[in-house]
Amino acid sequence: MTDNTAANQQTALAQYGEELLPVFGAPSLVIDRGDGCYVWDLDGKRYLDLLGGIAVNAVGHNHPDLVAAVSKQAGEMLHVSNFFTSRAQVALAHELLRISRVPEGSRVFFANSGAEANEAAIKLSRRTGRSKIVACEGAFHGRTTGALALTHKAAYREPFEPLLPDVVHVPFGDADALRSAVDDRTAAVFLEPIQGEAGVRVADDEYLRAAREITSAAGALLIVDEIQTGVGRTGDWLAHQRSSIVPDAVTFAKGLGGGVPIGAMVTFGAEVSALLQPGQHGTTFGGNPLACAAGLAVIDVIERDDLLDNARTLGEWFAAAVDDLDDERVAGVRGRGLLLAVELRDELSADVVTAARNAGFIVNAVAPNAIRLAPPLIIAQEQLQTFVDALPTLITEATS
């Protein structure tokens, strides 16, 4: 690359630092374009994207079906107010109800993001006439003020306290602790089937079934946050479906639009769906035709190309391939489908991520000793193999 091109990236990063609020920290790259499972920075260097925009780019970058759907919709209509609806909005609601396997009387509310979907779910729970909410230690439900009250990490919460009151956090995966915390004042329990931001920690099926039993007995809602795990990420349309529970509400976002911002809450059954009445909640851009057209394309590609099976098969293959490395510095792989974490024995993940980026891989240090992978669901075994082959060298470089 020419010096001029390199200077352009440096200039862009410097301008970012001068003109954007530093809430995300300093970005390491200017990503200029993408294609499939690869992205290129402004210097023209290629990277295998094993993070997929943190589980957002479900069908990869620049997928022709997604581009065609968005282009067609943009040529027809970008926005209508909520005094009206659109074909795309109605069609996507139908598809969300189908893949969610809901009972009669279920409904959809569209938002713009996962945090907004959870805000809707919080308001839904308040309509039970109760205010207490139980969430889990390690939980991440968003950074808007209501969702932040449910998020557990102190560094996110404490600068903005006091937050929404009457929120209790219990140890994740501990059914006895959950049973002790839920009472006749509890409006809802919020659960992630897999805690992505806490290091890709999986709730077992028995725990999810216990949560359903406990909330039903107390007359509380069970709200499952599938913002990171939904839309095929774990090899099922929704991660909780493997446990065969029927929640009261589910929240979507990340992979749903394949990169176009959209969130959604699905309410299960007529009784729960009747909790929110006209005028009690709303959004200007939720259900935007462009975002809904993107969501329809994502669901169609996942179904047509059998990407649920691809996620299941490659997730299992990756865990076995890393185990076959027999590298004593690796403790194992956790997660499900294509939401995975490589657990290291030492707290090296930040340095491994830097070494990986230098070698042309994008991964994420989700914990001091864990590297998160959430690649596009279209990824091939041959592409994952290149990262497995490189992993021992990346760890060595991180320790040197």
User: Alpha carbon of 130 to those of 12, 172, 218, 246, 275: distances in Å?
Assistant: 49, 23, 12, 21, 12
* 115 carries a ligand binding annotation: yes
Three-state SS letters, the chain? CCHHHHHHHHHHHHHHHHHCCHHHCCCCCCEEEEEECEEEECCCCEEEECCHHHHCCCCCECCHHHHHHHHHHHHHCCCCCCCCCCHHHHHHHHHHHHHHCCCCCCEEEEECCHHHHHHHHHHHHHCCCCCEEEEECCCCCCCCHHHHHHCCCHHHHHHHCCCCCCEEEECCCCHHHHHHHCCCCEEEEEECCEECCCCCEECCHHHHHHHHHHHHHHCCEEEEECCCCCCCCCCCCCHHHHHCCCCCEEEECHHHHCCCCCEEEEECCHHHHCCCCCCCCCCCCCCCHHHHHHHHHHHHHHHHCCHHHHHHHHHHHHHHHHHHCCCCCEEEEEEECCEEEEEECCCCHHHHHHHHHHCCEECEEEECCEEEECCCCCCCHHHHHHHHHHHHHHHHHHHC
How many Cα atoms within 13 Å fall on the side-chain side of residue 185?
9
What distance lies between CA 233 and its chain's CA centroid? 8
* 284 carries a ligand binding annotation: yes
* 149 carries a ligand binding annotation: no
- The tokens for 183 are 């009472």
Q: CA 323, CA 315: separation in Å to the nearest integer?
A: 13
* 225 carries a ligand binding annotation: yes
* 227 carries a ligand binding annotation: yes
Residue 34, by phi and psi: left (phi above 0), alpha (psi -120 to 50) or beta? beta
β-strand pairing of 167-170 with 132-136: parallel
* 143 carries a ligand binding annotation: yes
* 228 carries a ligand binding annotation: yes
Q: Which parts are annotated binding residues for pyridoxal 5'-phosphate?
A: 114-115, 140, 225-228, 284
Q: Which parts are annotated binding residues?
A: 114-115, 140, 143, 225-228, 283-284
Q: Which parts are annotated binding residues for N(2)-acetyl-L-ornithine?
A: 143, 283
